[in-house]
Amino acid sequence: MAWKWILVAATVAGLGALLRNKETRELLLSELHQVNLYLTRYDAWQLVFLSVGATLILNALANVLFRDDVYPLSVRIKRAFFRVIRWVPSVRTKITKELDKTLAGMEKSILKHSSKSRRSLPAKGLSMDSVMDEINKLEQMATIDWKTGLVSGAMYNCSDDLTRLTTQVYGRCAWSNPLHADLFPHIRQMEAEVVQWTLDLFHGGPLSCGTMTTGGTESILLAMRAYRQIGYEKGIEYPEIVLSVSAHCAFDKAAEYFRMKLTHVPVDPVTRMVDLVAMKRAISPSTVVLVASAPHFPHGIVDPIQEVAKLGLRYKVGVHVDSCLGGFVVPFMEEAGFEMDPFDFRVEGVTSISADTHKYGFAPKGTSVIMYSSKSIRRMQYFVASDWTGGVYATPSICGSRAGSLIAATWATLLYMGRNGYVESTKKIVTTTQKIAAELSKVPGVYVLGSPKVNVVGVASKEFDIFRVYEKLIERGWHINGLQFPSSIHLCVTMLHTKDGVADKFVRDVSEVVAQVASDPKAACGGVGAMYGVSQTIPDRSVINEIAEGFIDILYKC
């Protein structure tokens, strides 16, 4: 930390200047003599213990106050406060009881469809037919019919054609691994091509480059790791990410994994775009990257990329555009006949972009592309172990071995879709989204968050608990997302919602449910919706963490 050393240097210089004067020196000595006289009333051991004790306490305090951590001081103090409160036995007992009750309820609902699990490997391998029988049986557990378009996001196209194509290609490349570029030169070329095609969509310049990854999260992790390394090279001890509260939490994950500092800024309450004034104010000497989304996950709003990029240029920091969700929609919007402000490498200052092939690219899960404006940034995401006993080892991304099959299947999907295919899907998805947004903004009692133009529509209410709407939509078979801060729900529009009648049904169902709820605006929310509502009001967020961790534990019950 530079400022600490500046402080030390200033103190030393100040003292030096003082002691040059003979009178001051004598005065100081006589003062010290007084101190000696005063301290003779204490025993030596008392002085030693007091000094050591005081040093330890001050050091601990300085650690809490001045430590550069992922989370800001206010968050750390709040956490410490609740940790202390939990020492009270009655509080602890009550929390434990409530947690157990909540988790027991969750377990019941998650495992309700599960059949009896096998506890160990069959002593003798099954025949192929028996294995297929087993999967047939297990598949019976999945009862939600997503093909009718009642699910938000999750399944983006899944046409039979694509299933056939991707599984055939997967089969042919099932054992391939780009870690061995010599064995699988075709996979190497396919990955290079997928990256090149995506760069072309985002108008990457001659120096632009990228790699494929296993998903949006890995793309974001790698970009943040690259910016952290750039920060280290500049001598920044804890490189900082500045992002809005609407940015995907994969950036929080990156900050935790890579021990970076995380500074969240608010969004404009009306437009739901990042608050540029707050972002500008948050930029510090430790900042290495600003994040903008195109669009963001909660309410599907595109941030003002050009303005964020200007800040990036002005403060000489990177600008990452998270287009994980919109990656295969926004590049086609203009050609599909919609307005779209520049959001890609055409905007000077944008230094990296993440785009998920496994969302609107319609490729199988486990694929995404991370792109950079220059090769020197991509270098910063690589890992090289030059001294490993296993040989000189270098990988572009987090994984060692990678699924060449997924690269091939993604490559095949992109080729099959072609530019015209994506322009077509973009037309359908954006038209449907804008139609749903327009219709829902006419429904009294609720409002659409911001002005969604791409592929997500978020809805909230100022008059009643929106989670009551959420609950009633579940009763009608919908699987939409519940969001918090502010309480809201969203539909992520996929190809399945563009089919005749699906969007109309959604709008109709929401209108009917809202009318029911609005007739008794003060009624309380029960069931699943209540969880969302209540969880936001719990001040001790570690309780929510424990519930979430318990939830993940349940997923591994056998």
Ligand X SMILES: *[C@@H]1O[C@H](CO)[C@@H](O)[C@H](O)[C@H]1NC(C)=O
Residue 290 has a CB neighbour count (10 Å cut-off) of: 29
Three-state secondary-structure class, residue 266: coil
- Cβ atoms of residues 333 and 424 within 8 Å: no
Question: Given the complex with ligand PLP, which of 250 and 288 has the nearer CB atom?
Answer: 250
Binding of ligand PLP by 297 (CB under 6 A): yes
Kindly indicate which of the ranges 82-90, 211-219, 409-417, 509-517 contains the residues binding ligand PLP, using the contact rule CB under 6 A: 211-219
Question: Given the complex with ligand X, which of 158 and 282 has the nearer CB atom?
Answer: 158
- Write down the H helix ranges in 43-184: 44-66, 73-85, 89-110, 128-139, 160-172
Query: Pick from 425, 210, 398: which is nearest to 320 by CA?
Result: 210
Contacts of 450 (CB under 8 A, 6+ apart): 270, 271, 272, 273, 299, 300, 301, 458
- The CA angle 391-392-394, to the nearest 5 degrees, is 130
Encoded amino acid at 180, one letter: H
Query: Pick from 223, 221, 267: which is nearest to 245 by CA?
Result: 267
- Cβ atoms of residues 373 and 208 within 8 Å: yes
Binding of ligand PLP by 250 (CB under 6 A): yes
Query: Pick from 303, 358, 340, 296: which is nearest to 202 by CA?
Result: 340
Q: One symbol per residue from 111 to 150: x for binding ligand PLP (CB under 6 A), - otherwise; what is it? A: ----------------------------------------
Binding of ligand PLP by 178 (CB under 6 A): no
The interface partner of residue 329, options being ligand X, ligand PLP, none and the CB cut-off 5 to 8 Å by kind, is none
The interface partner of residue 264, options being ligand PLP, ligand X, none and the CB cut-off 5 to 8 Å by kind, is none
Would you report the helix, strand and coil content of the chain in percent, each value rounded to 5?
50, 10, 40
Question: Given the complex with ligand PLP, which of 253 and 505 has the nearer CB atom?
Answer: 253
- Work out how close the CB of 405 gets to ligand PLP at its nearest, in angstroms, rounded to a whole number: 18
Q: Dihedral through CA 66, CA 67, CA 72, CA 77, nearest 10?
A: -80
- Write down the H helix ranges in 329-403: 375-379
The interface partner of residue 158, options being ligand PLP, ligand X, none and the CB cut-off 5 to 8 Å by kind, is ligand X
The interface partner of residue 320, options being ligand PLP, ligand X, none and the CB cut-off 5 to 8 Å by kind, is none
The interface partner of residue 357, options being ligand PLP, ligand X, none and the CB cut-off 5 to 8 Å by kind, is none
Binding of ligand PLP by 215 (CB under 6 A): yes
Q: Scanning the structure block, which residue is given the tokens 């009763």?
A: 475
Question: Given the complex with ligand PLP, which of 103 and 249 has the nearer CB atom?
Answer: 249
Contacts of 344 (CB under 8 A, 6+ apart): 201, 202, 203, 204, 321, 323, 331, 350, 353
- Cβ atoms of residues 208 and 371 within 8 Å: yes
Question: Given the complex with ligand PLP, which of 236 and 321 has the nearer CB atom?
Answer: 321
Question: Given the complex with ligand X, which of 212 and 495 has the nearer CB atom?
Answer: 495
Contacts of 487 (CB under 8 A, 6+ apart): 460, 465, 466, 467, 532, 533, 536
d(CA 114, CA 343): 45
The interface partner of residue 331, options being ligand PLP, ligand X, none and the CB cut-off 5 to 8 Å by kind, is none
Q: Which of 95, 99, 158, 278 binds ligand X (CB under 6 A)?
A: 158
Question: Given the complex with ligand PLP, which of 318 and 533 has the nearer CB atom?
Answer: 318
Q: Which of 159, 167, 284, 545 binds ligand X (CB under 6 A)?
A: 159
The residue ranges of DSSP E strands in 169-231, in sequence order, are 209-213
- Work out how close the CB of 406 gets to ligand X at its nearest, in angstroms, rounded to a whole number: 19
Kindly indicate which of the ranges 91-99, 278-286, 290-298, 411-419 contains the residues binding ligand PLP, using the contact rule CB under 6 A: 290-298
- Work out how close the CB of 293 gets to ligand PLP at its nearest, in angstroms, rounded to a whole number: 6
Query: Pick from 517, 447, 443, 442: which is nearest to 476 by CA?
Result: 517
Count interface residues toward ligand PLP (CB under 6 A): 13
Site for ligand PLP in 335-394 (CB under 6 A): 356, 368
Kindly indicate which of the ranges 127-135, 212-220, 339-347, 446-454 contains the residues binding ligand PLP, using the contact rule CB under 6 A: 212-220
Burial (0-12, 13-18, 19+ Cβ within 10 Å), 255: buried
Binding of ligand PLP by 225 (CB under 6 A): no
Binding of ligand PLP by 296 (CB under 6 A): yes
The interface partner of residue 425, options being ligand PLP, ligand X, none and the CB cut-off 5 to 8 Å by kind, is ligand X
Site for ligand X in 419-458 (CB under 6 A): 421, 424-425
The interface partner of residue 159, options being ligand X, ligand PLP, none and the CB cut-off 5 to 8 Å by kind, is ligand X
Q: Which of 152, 157, 166, 213 binds ligand X (CB under 6 A)?
A: 157
Question: Given the complex with ligand PLP, which of 297 and 467 has the nearer CB atom?
Answer: 297
Query: Pick from 233, 478, 249, 299: which is nearest to 241 by CA?
Result: 249
Q: Which of 191, 252, 307, 322 binds ligand PLP (CB under 6 A)?
A: 322
Q: Which of 236, 262, 324, 459 binds ligand PLP (CB under 6 A)?
A: 324
> In the complex, which residues of this chain contact ligand X (CB under 6 A)?
157-159, 421, 424-425, 495-496
> In the complex, which residues of this chain contact ligand PLP (CB under 6 A)?
215-217, 248, 250, 293, 296-297, 322, 324-325, 356, 368
